[in-house]
Amino acid sequence: MQEPAVVQDGAQWAATSEKLDRLTEKMDAFINMMQKDMAILKTDVAGLKTDVTGLKTDVAGLKTDVAGLKTDVAGLETNVAGLNVKVFERQNDDLVSNKAPVAGKAGRTCWTGTEIRSLVPSTALRRGTRHFHR
């Protein structure tokens, strides 16, 4: 290699060469450190990908569970609605029907006020439902 024109003597060239050697060592150390950091980052990213996959699986499971709960709630609402209709129909049949047994007295077509009051919750009577009183 030819010495540059600005370098006049060997001492100046030796000092410049020493600085270049130290700079090369620092660059090599920096490159090694970056390679280690990249290896660590690759491991971390692989772990994060695994975690995300696990979370996606958990979310899918939760969505399935929520859908099942919605189905259960809808079924319960249907059952409650059906029970309400049946209770109302039964009460209506007992109060109005000629065929309904009235306190063991066959052939009667209506209930007495006392018999009706026995079917109505006492709170309804306290609220002033006058048509149940004689």
**Tens place of pLDDT for every residue, the chain, 134 residues?**
565 555 567 778 888 889 999 999 999 999 999 999 999 999 999 999 999 999 999 999 999 999 999 888 888 877 777 666 666 566 555 555 544 455 555 555 555 666 666 665 555 555 554 544 44
SS3 110: coil
| DSSP 8-state code for residue 4 | P
Its pTM stands at: 0.39
Look-up of token digits 């540059």: 4
Structure tokens at 63: 């969505």
pLDDT at 29: 96
pLDDT at 23: 96
Are 108 and 114 a contacting pair, CB within 8 Å? Answer: no
Find all residues with CB under 8 Å of 91, minimum gap 6, and list them.
119
Look up residue 39 and give its amino acid.
A
What is the rounded distance in angstroms from the CA atom of residue 134 to the CA atom of residue 128? 13
